[in-house]
Every structure is written in structure tokens, then in C-alpha cells.
Structure 1
Amino acid sequence: MRILVTGASGFIGSHTVAALVESGHRPRLLVRNTEAASAVLAGVKVDSGQVDFAPGDMRDAEAVGAALDGCDAVVHAAAVIGVTGKPGEQILSGNVEGTRNVVGGAVERGISRIVYLSSMTVFMPTDQPVITGDSPLSRQRTEYGRSKLEAERYVRGLQNEGAPITTFYPGGVCGPAQSTLKELNEGIAAGLGQVWVMPKGAGVSVLDVRDLAEAILRTVRAPGAPRRWMLGGHHLGWSELADLCDALTGVPCKRMVVPGGLLLAAGSLLDLAKRVRRFDFPLTRDAAEMMVSLPRTDDREPLAELDLKPRPPEETLADILRWMAAEGHLDPARAGALYSV
């Protein structure tokens, strides 16, 4: 089966490619830079000779069309990310036009297995204690949030017409082999390496990227139907997450519990500061909102339909910390007992 994957240079995309290759597929990858993509794939033990590259940008309808031709399935994992405040590049055009070209193009060609990677951002903020794939969409303040919301509405329009698109809403995706530390991995490294700033009583979703990749693999094996599947992973309190790291490493981390309102204010101030001068710091208003008010997710339907049992968070965290220490993202002393294994 010929499967087109976008976003193969990213965290989710690269692990998805690894899962497809391991399962015997030879995926076609829409990438802007084949050398950069090959380097990322090497990190997940995929040789460039095991895939076919289709050079092009998801915003280029002609290039996307050529990549789609002859495919039986499509995984659209590419996105311009903006949650942690990294300098972006045409976020709106990347996420909206790219989705129209890739997902819309797949529907036009009658491809019956289409997977779209959305974001829990489209539901936040929310006052619901548990969110599902059918929870109300929320207004968005940032360019990233608005781009994901517009793309989400476009995909839902296709689904309402019967297009066989499965949308996943992943939680806090984390795991080993991330080419550039971002999101939850970045937060874990900062928490252990410096001080763990955590809002009192709040929680986080922990989803192993390898479990998400396996879910995507199982989804493309059979003709799809319009589905919206939440896959948030394990919901842990921030203190529970820190406790697990302490137990795994044997090295207590420094913690600073702060009121949720203070964290939100800090995120807003940092957003303003980044408009004046660009700098990298993982806290934004959106990220703070996720940290303070992220509810639990209802993952029962995809787990049952795909016969998937996510690995325990202890396993995920142990693999992350070993990998971070080995790759220089974390002082080996902070990995404690794990690094000596």
C-alpha cells in the first residue's frame, strides 16, 4: 500500500514513518528538504533507502497533487507549530492551505484512508471536565490557534459530506528521538534541569509518540469513515509527573508551585515581550492555559476500535530521560539511576 506522509521531519511524522516501515510499508514523504528529513529519520532508525521522497511544500498545490497521485492512504501530520512561542513561518497559510491541499486533494482523488492530525488547542479553553472529539470548538487568540481552528472546520466540512477522514486530537505528545526539543519534552528537560514550575492542582496529558504512531498505522490499514478521535493519553497531575521522574531517577527535582493566575499572567507578558523582540522560551499564554486548565480526555473509542493499549507513563518517562541524557539534552546526573542502566 502506498502511503503519503507529510511532516516526516517532525516528531509525530518521523515516528509514524518508522512504524509504517517496520510494518513493511514503503511510505512516500512530502518534504521540503530531503537531507534534513533523512537526518531526522536516522534518529528513529529509518534509512532514507526505505522511503520515497517527494520534494515539495504542502502549500504548493501542484507538488502536493503529484505526491498524492497513486497513493492508497494519506497521513497529514505536517503543521507549523506555535504553542511554545518558537519563531514561526506563515502559520496561517501553512496550516490552512496545507490542509486544503493535502486532505482536500486526497478526498478529490477518492483516497479511502485519510488521517488528519489536529490539536487539542481547538477545544481550549473549555469549561468541560472531560473533552471528546465532539466537544465544542473554542475561540482562539493566537495565529496558531486560529489556523488550527480554520483547518479543523474545513476538515469537519469534508467529514460531514462523508469523506473518510479520521481526525486525531493528540494530548501531550512526548517520547524519545525528537530532533529538536519541543512542547512536553522541552518542559520535562527544563523542569529537571532547572526548576519545575507547576500550577497547583492542574494536570497534563502524557501520550507516548510511539503509541500515537501505532494508532495511525492501525487506522490506515482499513478503509476509513468520518471519525473524530481524542487521544490524550494518561492524565497526570503536574506533581504526579514530577514524582514519577523523582522515583525513576532517584534524584529529587526542584519544584515551585505557583497559582494558576500568576502563570497565565506570566504567559501573557512573555507573549507581549516576544512581539518586541523574538526569543525562545517555552511559556506562552496558550501553553500556560494548557498547563492550568487541561481537562481529562475520553480516549475509549479509538483504544477499543484499534485494540490499542498505551504503554504506562513510567516506561515513556524512563525512555525520555535515558535518551535526553545520552543526547546531551539533560545532565546525566539529573537522569540518576536511569543513565547508569
Structure 2
Amino acid sequence: MRVLVTGASGFIGSHAVAALLADGHKPLLLVRNPEKTRRVLANLGVVEPVSLHEADIRDTVAVRSGLEQCDAVIHAAAEIGVISQAGDSAGTNVAGLKNVLGQAVELGLDPIVHISTIGVFVPPAGPVITTESPLSAPRNDYGRTKVLGERYARQLQDQGMPITIVYPAGVIGPYQPSLDTLMEGLRAGLKQGWPITSGGAGVVDVRDLAVVLARCVEPGRGPRRFMLGGHYLTWAQLADVCDEVTGGRCRRFRVPRAVLRGAAAALDAVKLIKKIDYPLTRDAVEMMVTMVRTYDTPTLEALGVELRPVQETIADSLRWLAQEGHLPPVKVGRLAGKVTP
């Protein structure tokens, strides 16, 4: 199929392009910076000519021009703002999303795949998050705009439109163009130590997520929702896996959730006047201390996907962080070496 991919120069979007090509699809990439996109894809071993459509997803006419050339769409473009201030959250996560999803519906594309986030359910209402869990009421602009975009996508689903929504948790892996969220957390954990507190993290390999997205590209299936929280690890378990794959020993310090929330709020205030290289924010802490397991079985069975071992994902992520200079080689121990796409 001819598939429009938004956000193709980003972490998830670029890996999705590689997975689509592997499955024989013909992606058309809607991007703002063609040169950056080619560079990011080359890192993944995508060297064959890929068609580019230069546009901003906030530009209604330009988006429609790209959609008109395709049969389906994977919408991966988004502003992220959990550990840092997002850019134009409303413009990208709401207006841009409506441009893509709404016009794709008008043009009859099928399927229309939207990458949401586990964050629309956090803090969770129960001990397990499912696709039917209630949506949350986030504190920050990023979270609020993601929920607004989610509600729009669900309105289209309620009308019977072929919208597929995928909910990934903490996505990590090699070749992240700009470090964010859990990848920044891995770096900080190995450099400065792991805060051991309540909650945990859902760890999703970006390459597994890319396979899920490519397998969603199947017309005639109607509205669908797929949870992909991945491997759930407590913070102590995440530190233990890092020790296991590196052969070293990460620092750990126990912190009650109330203390961590207070420290993060204070750090947010300090960061307004001074640059501090530590990805702890009040919003990130809320995710950290309240995260629970997700129910992924229906997703994995419906799409025939088997997640790779979490040790492999974390090892490849740490090896790449060291290769790119984000971590001193000594911090990754026996993992030091070059990553292959």
C-alpha cells in the first residue's frame, strides 16, 4: 500500500518507515526537514530512495496534498513534553492531528493509524491499564493536548471510521534523533543513579512498536485500539536489568513518592533560571510513581507480534547511548561497541 507517514524524521516514525519497507509497502513521508529525514533514515540502513512530501502538519492544504497520493496513513508526528517544555503542543497535537485524521477520513484512506500514548490514561484508575480505561486529566499542556487529540480520534471511531489507535508506553531503543523521556531516564540512571520509588515503567522496544504499526496497515478492519505497554518493570527491576546487561552496578537511592514529587517541583523551579542536566520534572515523576501494568495480550495476538526480551532492548539502548557520546563507555561496561541497525 501507499502509506503516508507523518513524523518520519522522529524516533517512532523513522523506525515505522523501515518496518513498512520491510513489509513491502511504499511510504510517502510528510516532513518539514527532508535533509534531516534522509540522515535519520540512513542511520537505520534505509538507503533506497524514499518519496518525501515537504509540509507542516499544521498546513491543511499541504497535508491534504500528501494524503491524496496515498491509500493509508500512519500519524506519528507529535510534540513531546514530559521531561522538557514542548513546542507548539496545541498546534501539533490537536490542530495538526485533526488535519491529518480528519482529512484522511474525508478522502477515504483505510486504515488511518494514530500513535497515541499510555500517558492519556495516567494516573491510572485501576491496577491494570486497558484500551477501555478512563482517560486522565493531565496537569501540563502536553498531556492536555494529547487527551484532546485522543478524544477527537475516538469521535471518528464512534462514527465507524477506520481509525486505529496505538498506545505505547516508554519507547526506547537505538537511533533516537533527540533523547526524550525513558531514554533520558536510562542515561541519568547510569550516570547519577536510580531513584527507587513506587510505580515503574512500561518498556517498549521501538523496533517492536514499528512492527506493530506496520501490521496495523490492513484495510477493511474498521475502528481498532491497541495497547502496547511492553515489559512492566519496577524501578528496582529496571536498575537490576541495567546491571545484568552491563556487568556493573548502578547507584540506587530510595525516595518516597511524596519526597520525589517535592524534589521534582523544586527542580522545575531551579531549571527556570539554571540549566540542570537531569530529566526529573514534576510531570515525569507523576508518570514514574503511578504507572501500572498494561493488558497487551489482545494486541500481540491480533497482530501476531512477539516482544523481544527486555534485556535485549535495554542492552541495545545503552550500547547506542555510549556510541553516540550520551554515556561514557565505562558506564555501559561490557556493552561498549558499535550498534548495527
What is the TM-score when the length of structure 2 is the normalising length? 0.95
Instruction: Report what 1:291 is aligned to.
Output: 288
Structure 2: distance between partners of 1:298 and 1:282: 28
**Partner of residue 240, structure 2:** 243
* Deviation sequence 1:160-194 (CA, Å, 0-9, x none): 00011110110111111111221111111111122
Deviations 1:214-266 (A, max 9, x none): 00011103433211221100101111111111111111011112111111122
Contact 2:170 2:204 in 1 (8 A): yes
Matching of residue 315 in structure 1 with residue 312 in structure 2:
yes
Q: Is the alpha carbon distance of 1:23 and 1:314 closer, same or farther for their aligned partners in structure 2, counting shifts above 3 Å?
A: same
SS at match of 1:27: strand
1:8 counterpart letter in structure 2: A
Contact kept? 2:319, 2:337, Cα under 8 Å: no
Name stretches of at least 5 consecutive residues in structure 2 with no aligned partner.
none
- 1:203 and 1:294 in contact (8 A); partners too: yes
Q: What is the distance in 2 between the residues matched to 1:324 and 1:205?
A: 19
Given that residues 18 and 46 in structure 1 are in contact (C-alpha distance below 8 angstroms), is that contact kept between their aligned partners in structure 2? yes
> 1:127: how far off?
3.2
**Structure 2 partner of 1:81:** 80
Percent of matched pairs sharing the same residue: 51
Output the CA distance in 1 between the equivalents of 2:160 and 2:275: 43
Amino acid of the structure 1 residue aligned with 2:13: G
Cα separation, 2, equivalents of 1:268 and 1:124: 18
The residue that corresponds to 2:331 in the other structure is 334
Q: Equivalent residue of 2:26, what SS? A: coil
Tell me the CA shift for residue 284 of structure 1. Answer: 1.7
1:68 corresponds to: 67
Is 2:135 the partner of 1:137?
yes
CA distance in 2, matches of 1:131, 1:68: 33
Q: CA deviation at 1:139?
A: 1.0
Once superposed, what is the RMSD of the aligned Cα atoms?
1.6
Unaligned runs of 5+ in 1: none
Equivalent positions of 1:50-65 (< 5 A) are 50-65=49-64
Tell me what 2:200 maps to: 203
* Residues 113-170 of structure 1, C-alpha deviations (whole Å, 9 max, x = no match): 1110011121111231001111111112111111101111111100000011110110
**d(CA) in 2 for partners of 1:280 and 1:225?**
45
Q: Choose from 119, 122, 132 the match for 1:121.
A: 119
Alpha-carbon spacing, 1:337–1:32, altered in 2? closer, same or farther (3 Å)? same
Counterparts in 2 of 1:1-341, with a 5 A limit? 1-47=1-47, 49-85=48-84, 87-199=85-197, 201-274=198-271, 281-339=278-336
Question: 1:275 offset after TM fit, Å?
Answer: 5.2
TM-score (norm 1): 0.95
| Aligned partner letter, 1:136 | P
Say if 2:125 and 2:133, in contact at 8 Å, map to a contact too.
no
Q: What amino acid does structure 1 have at the position aligned with 2:7?
A: G
Cα shift at 1:286: 1.6
Distance 2:5 2:106 in 1: 17
Displacement of 1:280: 6.0
The 3-state SS of whatever aligns with 1:64 is: helix
Shift of 1:82: 0.6
State the secondary structure of the residue aligned to 1:50: coil
Cα pair 1:208 1:316 within 8 Å, conserved = yes
Report the AA paired with residue 204 of structure 1: A
